Structure formats: C-alpha cells, structure tokens
Amino acid sequence: MQFPAPVSVQWIADLIGAKIIGNQNGQATGINELHKVEPGDLVFVDHPKYYAKCINSDASFIIINQETDVPEGKALLLVDQPFEAYSRIIGHFRPFEPAGKMISDSSTIGEGTVVYPSAFVGHHVIIGKNCIIHPHVTIMDHCIIGDNVIIQASTVIGSDAFYYNTKKDREVWYKKMPSCGRVIIEDDVEIGAGCTIDRGVSHDTIIGKGTKMDNHIHLGHDTVIGKNGLFAAGSAIAGVVNIGNGVTVWGQAGISKTLSIGDNAVLLAKSGVAGDLEGGKVYWGSPVEEAGIKKRELIWIKRIPELWEKVMSKKD
C-alpha cells in the first residue's frame, strides 16, 4: 500500500512507539509485506529466521524486535511487537469504513456501466466504462475495475487475504493480518459466477487485460495474472503467484503459493502445481509434470502386472 504522501520515519516511530536505528531522516512511501517490498517501503519482521532476508530486501525501513546491524541508508524501527506495530500503521492509513448503502457515494462508475440491483459497490471503488456487474456481486473498498468488464452473479472482488501472523507462544495462535491491498481488474476481463478474488495483503491482486475466468474460481492475495489468460471452473490459485500472459488453466487445477508460471503454459484438469513452470509447455498430474512424460509414466504403470508376470515366470 502506498501512502497518500511520503511520511517521515520519525512520525512513524512516534505512531508506533519505536526507537530508530540508522537513517533518522528517511521518508517512507508505503508499507508492504516481504514478498512485495519496494524501495521506500516499511516492512515488519518478528522472527530471527527472516531478519537477514528482510533487512537486505528492497525495503528501506524495517520494523523489528531485536537490535542488529542495518545497511547504510536504511532504518530499523525497534519495538517489542512488530506485528502489532504494522497493524497500527495499517489501521491509521486504511481504517475500516462501515457501509451505509449498496453503492458508496465515494465510488466512481463509468459511462455505460450497468450495476444490477443487489450488487454491492464499496468505498473508493472505481469501475470503468461499459461494464456489467450482475446481481449479488460484491466489490469491496478501493478495488479498481477497468472498461468492458463483465462480472457474473455472486462473485466477490476484494475479500480479505487468507493471511495470518502465527505464534505458538500466545493464546491466539493465528492473528489476522489487515488486508490493505487492492484488486485491480484490467480492461476486457470476464469473471464467472461465484468466484472469490482476494485483495492483496499490502500490494495488489491483478487480473490482466482480456483474461476470462469461469465459475467458482478462487484467486489468492497479491497474485498477478497476465493478459489473455483462460481459467476453467473450480481452479484454485494461492497467494503471491505470478502467472504470465496467455496461460490456460483447466478445471480443478490447484496452484500453490509464491511461484511463477511462464507465458502460454497450459495446465490440464486436476493438475497440482507446487513449483515454478516454464512457459510454452503443457502440464498434467499432481505433482505436475509435462503432460507427455506423465502419460508415458501411466502407460508403464499399467504394464507393471504384465512385467511382473514375466519376471516371475522366468524365476520358475
């Protein structure tokens, strides 16, 4: 999430009660989680396992619970509870706003767009021209919809990320991380009925221009889909996935978190993806492999009884 304007690190430190170590005169431009940080961002870390990765990331300001060395030009903001400090910053810049009507007065809806009765459009939403928003669609706060977009009935755009801070030494193990990111849907996208598109934790979930999505698809937080993708019913995509242009995903495929799929890849039905995939190839199976290799494996598996009989007959 980008701040409306750069904020001094001293102001942030005062807000969260932090001690500054390092650059005391910096200006923070936004707040992000580790997978999406950019120069100028704040990020938090509360586990030694991730200290080095976080401090050496692109983040300029690190909310941390232990004093340590810091690269020149960066700053540590030392607090006892980094997660609580992070959440306080989110609450300040992106506070909860209850809705009082089905279409918020702060939303912007383009010329020629039809919003059916019973659709909900939240605060600060922008919808482009010539869109069709069908009944019972929910578009939550701060989401952006391009031109010529069709969203079928009962789809939810901008639900909170399934993302929790986990600590086993407290009474409540899983504490919800506030979702301050957005969903951005580019021009000429079609989304089927009953889909759920989670907003980014602190960045954006993006669906690229011309992409078409069938019914009952789940898209996780901070995932970016390229242009002209095709996604069949029942496919589920986890958070922080980067999917290239022209990718086809057939029914009930499952894609795990924090991986990349190259341009023009094809995932056949019920494929399970646990790692990065090159573009321009057809994949199948769980765990997924190139479809040709997987099919040959199945042929050999079917021949196991026959081969076993041959082996046993030779022993006799």
What integer is the mean pLDDT of 76-105? Answer: 95
**114 and 89 together in one domain:** no
Residue 221 among the catalytic residues: yes
Which residues does residue 144 pair with via DSSP β-bridges, in sequence order?
A: 126, 184
From 142, 203, 216, 221, the catalytic residue:
221
**142 and 278 together in one domain:** yes
Name the CA dihedral angle for 190, 191, 193, 197, rounded to a multiple of 10 degrees: -170
pLDDT of residue 159: 97
Which residues are CB-neighbours of 47 under 8 A, at least 6 positions away? none
Share of the chain above pLDDT 90, in %: 84
pLDDT tops 80 at residue 314: no
- What is the domain count for the chain? 2
What integer is the mean pLDDT of 124-144? Answer: 98
Higher pLDDT, 242 or 308: 242
Listed range (26-40, 130-144, 151-165, 242-256) with the worst mean pLDDT: 26-40
**176 and 270 together in one domain:** yes
pLDDT of residue 316: 61
pLDDT of residue 165: 87
Residue 79: which CATH number? 3.40.1390.10
Q: pLDDT (tens digit, 9 = 90+) per residue, 7-43? A: 999 999 999 999 999 999 999 999 998 888 999 999 9
What integer is the mean pLDDT of 246-254? Answer: 97
Beta strands 272-273; 254-255: pairing state:
parallel
**75 and 189 together in one domain:** no
Listed range (98-102, 291-295, 296-300) with the worst mean pLDDT: 296-300
Summary mean pLDDT of the chain: 94
What domain range includes position 176?
Answer: 108-294
Q: What is this structure's pTM?
A: 0.91
Phi, psi of 55 (to 5 degrees): -65, -35
Q: Is 170 inside a domain boundary?
A: yes
CB 138 within 8 A of CB 178: no
pLDDT of residue 169: 83
pLDDT of residue 216: 98
Q: pLDDT (tens digit, 9 = 90+) per residue, 190-228? A: 999 999 999 999 999 999 999 999 999 999 999 999 999
Place 96 in a pLDDT band, splitting at 50, 70 and 90. Answer: very high
**155 and 19 together in one domain:** no
**252 and 122 together in one domain:** yes
**123 and 71 together in one domain:** no
**244 and 288 together in one domain:** yes
**80 and 216 together in one domain:** no
Q: Is 309 inside a domain boundary?
A: no
Give the C-alpha distances (Å, rounded to integers) separating 106 from 52, 123, 124.
42, 5, 5
Q: Is 301 inside a domain boundary?
A: no
